[in-house]
Structure 1
């Protein structure tokens, strides 16, 4: 997708720079990025048109709503004069649009915004428009429908429905799974409001009406919070007694990026056969196998029995949490010796969580790692068979003792090694102020001359341990991406996305892939993008909530350039002999003033990431980076690195808006002055005509004069109305100018600075040089 040309935007992230943190308390954090905050309603029925209203932050000159699925399109709502209504759109959902969650964003001056979940369903939908915080004004809902609403602060929202005796109704509420801050409490009550069923843990209520009549649904937040960001979708669905009713769809967790394994087929799945809780009734399977089961009823343990031979190695993978279930799978494999009456059981392996590929933040406040949990409480591990004979595998939910939900399903796969990997990317960040997580929901909206680093995490599967190379393709014009590979044996890499200073305005849905050599063959896997639903300015008050994005949009805003660009003096491969020092001259292109005379830079990139930090001046155009390959013990080879740090820029927001507001204010004043002069001339003409009319003695002439006076007065009245409107417009344009000037006043904003990628070739030391 391409948009009209202009220049550039940026996406800013956050990382741990302790030296700056204490100095940054008084500054704002991160340059403004466009954010889509809410839509109302949050979705619609496939095959219908929906009128939605949005709220945004840092969105100027909005162009269009953009959805992650092509069957959803939007056009601005027009008023009676054919002009767009601010923040209102008509969304057309195609009949072929798949049910589920899709992302919606808005393209604006600064580029593409952050995403908000947009839900497409098969049921008719309504939107609550009137208060319903008492039983007396409860909103009536039809069965088999969905209501979109916003939680009323410190209140309970009331709804009613009619049910027949014995009718089964499933009441569900989507909130956290659609980006809402609401933790819903659901209650089904009788017509008088007396509670019958209560659900406080995020589940649905499966209700069978004891009598025909009216029933009440109450909804409130667990801590009675409310407001625009506490939105929800309430569904009432009828069902037959044994019918399975799926929950309302939810966005995918970050951990789910590692499921399913590549080329996984459903052709050979076998269903778990109950009862199989005890060794005596273990379900017998042949390896390899692929089993579907569920952690049901509460405290369920499923036991499987198979025969294996000494020396065999099997890999066991369980998916449940990655399927969206609130489970924590555990697997124990045991060797069985002897007959059924004299069995000897020996533990072979216990498999628990999939380890987080990157150390994550422990408390979400003091930064000690990204708050993205790419690992999972699911299972992925190796079982080495030590003895021939029968083995038993038991799988259970560690916290399933009180969970009595048949939808807590799992998939158990036991296979020979199939080395592979999965990757995920998110905006790398610094903690520029203690507790700040402001950048985590920012989009890839690039300013000219800016480089955004993406942190890439990998889950390695079945013993794969090789290099993983990273690519990002299908980028806007003027944008390039450079992958700093994930080295063999490691699980973290960096992807640098750079916009040229002159990059034109544009938007593309990028393709994120990673490649590696496995068993002599080149393998490519598609990666995912993760981001946080909301910015978190103080993690003491709010825990970051990340999710997977449905697409990978990259944009250039075209209206601004980044405050500073750092690049090597020449775009070339810099060569150095192993064991020697390499000096790389750097050029600092500064576009505004900065607080402080210098900033400290560190180094990204395998082979050089342990390089000592160094200072670069913020008052000069050049500096040097010195890399000691002897101290770093950098082996010969090809490398790509970048330098990163942070600086406090004196940033002015949207200066073109000030210029436009000045032109508009001057034009309004000029127009008002012209109308004022015309009004004065008309008033003088009325006075002259009136005076002449009084002096006319001829009756016919006097009548004509009177008509002229009335016409002149009518014209004067019209001019006075126009003058009043023009004066009002002068006041309005001056207010807009004042507001634009206030927003554009330079403010100290601490932000990340990442250099353009630097390529380095370390050549082997020759024997002569060694001597």
Structure 2
């Protein structure tokens, strides 16, 4: 009896482990607040039923769930319409004298309230978001402590189905103005941001301006065809900054082109004349305006989408006032362990320089304090190589600055069309790497890098090099060359801007060295939900550097007891692996922070790297980006059986011969015999299930490897989904239901058939 109960519990866990859609937050509004305040936040998402808890990174911010609203189904809306019709008839009848031999129809305050409630629900139904990803609503109460550090927090929501993806909540220092929560009008909901239809249905329009006092942060949601306007008084001599945050809040929207809310800012004087405009800031989509006020008066700031799209997740925050703002720093980095003097450029800055000291290789944010206000942050890179500054003049080849490898050079392209030249000596067969770090460090430079020999012959050149770790960049504009020198002699590197742009902000760091093989890791998704005793797939990406191709072994670090990883090896030469995590049978309660660590042997040294959690975000229906997050969170929910009723018979790797077949066994509990079906989940090209037959303890699965696609030496993991097929209790028709996933099964394609039994 106990076995049957355990088996049923395990079956329930498998049946429920995969939700149709993972819990998802599409937007927060407002997306931030001021230190020392309590305010209401509306969250739009999907599969967030049963919201009960809010999880925030960092400290100083707390939040509670106060309300959840699921959108009405069409059937529910029809039922409400029928109820409303009856109430309307009752109200009308109450105003007339009763017919003979009948009672007077009574209309009470409770009836009036019921009618108003139904009308409000039907209005919400008409104005419901057209995107399912933001159709459900949760209301939060957020409290930010007076001493909370300004900056970003990651917010996740605990719901019945687990935990959601993280989304940004900003902690600010300024007073805040927040418009009422908006919903797309029914007339525009069908097109929801498609430019031609929106303009045909409702031409762009601007409501009367809202009066605000500076400095402030403005919170709003951009609706289709709308222009939001804000009026304030400014005095002569003020240096105003208006900084919009839109794409920064929600980096990518999967079903919108170009893939985010593209805000534009316009500043007008009291006569309505445009005095400033911005639709971006350098390569950043979010616009920033700087304006020196020439005369006292009222000014109006306008914001709208560049092509007048809009919907509920087009959320923005605008910081406006005489605020400190960093436009650039120089140098963009320094040597770890050393003190670096950093020159700063921008507006309303209290000083022209600051000092930075870093203990280890990596990035640190740089900001300046002006009075009570903290500026925006820019990244500063610490490295272990010797550092140098590009000397002037080096704009000609014959005046090239001589450098000795290894070295990181800090330079700037100061004039249009300018090139910086560097000369170094090399030997035949010596491999060198020259890599520019500019765009990845918030510099607008669109670099180009050229390597020539002593005679001026071009040996290598590069414009754009893709770094998959830079998930927020849609234009990968940094350059990289890896080249083996053909002979002993002098060689020249030249750096320029491919668009012939220039200025004090166009800084770069140029690494010139021998290859430094290394790797970084990204683990997706950053929020993982798994039923007790069940198994879920996880993807780990290897970002390999400077020719490192070796094997990377993975292991969990600080993981909850009973959480087991299967298939934790990234084979040599491969850039990603799909592995699985199997949860303990019992629930863990609160989400658990987990770390994943990669180990590899590189040039005789053992190298350890922690995986950075990330979200695989889709941009504009097609493009995918790995966007780094702060924490990797795992939530185990429900109670499972101590032993899975369907599981691989062995943890050993399956060896397939190219062109041959090999069986392996899956154990199936007797109660499920004849009901289980197996399918490969996103298998490697050329590998498939040839047949599944009954075996003494379950099933024998025969795999085949197509020699044209699956070559000897191919390694990885096989992930199998478990389906249950059984007759429906009412109709007797056999129905197929996804139960769950088996732990990852390592495999290798070999040249000759080797049985794994």
**TM-score normalised to the size of structure 2?**
0.65
**CA–CA distance in structure 2, aligned partners of residues 578 and 544 of structure 1:** 34
Contact kept in structure 1, 2:362 and 2:383, CA below 8 Å: no
Q: Tell me the equivalent position of 2:397.
A: 279
Q: Tell me the equivalent position of 2:592.
A: 508
Among candidates 62, 75, 80, match of residue 51 of structure 2: 62
Q: Tell me the equivalent position of 1:39.
A: 28
Cα deviations across residues 267-294 of structure 1 (Å, max 9, x unaligned)?
8443445554433554444432212344
Contact kept in structure 2, 1:476 and 1:554, CA below 8 Å: no
CA drift at 1:137: 3.5
Contact kept in structure 2, 1:66 and 1:106, CA below 8 Å: yes
Q: Tell me the equivalent position of 1:171.
A: 242
User: Does 1:95 find its partner at 2:166?
Assistant: no
**CA–CA distance in structure 1, aligned partners of residues 324 and 712 of structure 2:** 67
Q: State the SS of the aligned residue for 1:424.
A: strand
Q: Tell me the equivalent position of 1:152.
A: 223
**CA–CA distance in structure 1, aligned partners of residues 680 and 589 of structure 2:** 30
User: Does 1:231 find its partner at 2:315?
Assistant: yes
**CA–CA distance in structure 2, aligned partners of residues 414 and 147 of structure 1:** 45
Q: State the SS of the aligned residue for 1:444.
A: strand
User: Does 1:392 find its partner at 2:492?
Assistant: yes
CA drift at 1:220: 0.1
**CA–CA distance in structure 1, aligned partners of residues 309 and 475 of structure 2:** 31
Q: Tell me the equivalent position of 2:539.
A: 455
Q: State the SS of the aligned residue for 1:244.
A: strand
CA drift at 1:111: 0.9
Q: Tell me the equivalent position of 2:701.
A: 625
Contact kept in structure 2, 1:568 and 1:758, CA below 8 Å: no
Aligned positions of 1:478-493 closer than 5 A: 478-493=562-577
CA drift at 1:625: 1.6
Q: Tell me the equivalent position of 1:522.
A: 606
Contact kept in structure 2, 1:8 and 1:502, CA below 8 Å: no
CA drift at 1:558: 2.2
Q: Tell me the equivalent position of 2:41.
A: 52
Give the number of the structure whose alpha-carbon radius of gyration is greater.
1
Among candidates 182, 198, 208, match of residue 277 of structure 2: 198
CA drift at 1:552: 1.0
Q: Tell me the equivalent position of 2:509.
A: 411
**CA–CA distance in structure 1, aligned partners of residues 717 and 585 of structure 2:** 20
Which structure has more relative contact order (CA 8 Å, sep 6+)? It is 1
Contact kept in structure 2, 1:644 and 1:752, CA below 8 Å: no
CA drift at 1:397: 3.5
Q: Tell me the equivalent position of 1:756.
A: 743
Contact kept in structure 1, 2:676 and 2:725, CA below 8 Å: no
CA drift at 1:386: 3.3
**CA–CA distance in structure 1, aligned partners of residues 159 and 519 of structure 2:** 36
Instruction: For structure 1, list consecutive stretches of 5 or more residues without a partner in the other structure.
Output: 1-5, 14-29, 79-84, 248-257, 337-343, 359-370, 428-441, 653-745
Q: Tell me the equivalent position of 1:558.
A: 638
Q: State the SS of the aligned residue for 1:206.
A: strand
Q: State the SS of the aligned residue for 1:322.
A: helix
Whose strand fraction is larger, Structure 1's or Structure 2's? 2
**CA–CA distance in structure 2, aligned partners of residues 556 and 92 of structure 1:** 29
Cα deviations across residues 36-58 of structure 1 (Å, max 9, x unaligned)?
23222212345655543333322
Aligned positions of 1:48-447 closer than 5 A: 48-76=37-65, 87-93=139-145, 95=147, 97=149, 99-129=150-180, 137-179=208-250, 181-201=260-280, 202=285, 203-238=287-322, 243-245=345-347, 264-265=382-383, 268-273=386-391, 276-279=394-397, 282-294=400-412, 299-324=417-442, 328-336=446-454, 344-354=455-465, 376-398=476-498, 400-401=499-500, 406-427=504-525, 443-447=527-531
CA drift at 1:189: 1.2
Greater Cα offset, 176-185 or 758-767: 758-767
Aligned CA distance change for structure 1 residues 490 and 377 (closer, same or farther; 3 Å): farther
**CA–CA distance in structure 1, aligned partners of residues 617 and 346 of structure 2:** 30
Cα deviations across residues 223-257 of structure 1 (Å, max 9, x unaligned)?
2122220001101242689951599xxxxxxxxxx
CA drift at 1:315: 1.6
Aligned CA distance change for structure 1 residues 504 and 120 (closer, same or farther; 3 Å): closer
Q: Tell me the equivalent position of 1:601.
A: 680
Cα deviations across residues 444-496 of structure 1 (Å, max 9, x unaligned)?
11234543323322232223221111233333454322344222223222232
Whose helix fraction is larger, Structure 1's or Structure 2's? 1
**TM-score normalised to the size of structure 1?**
0.64
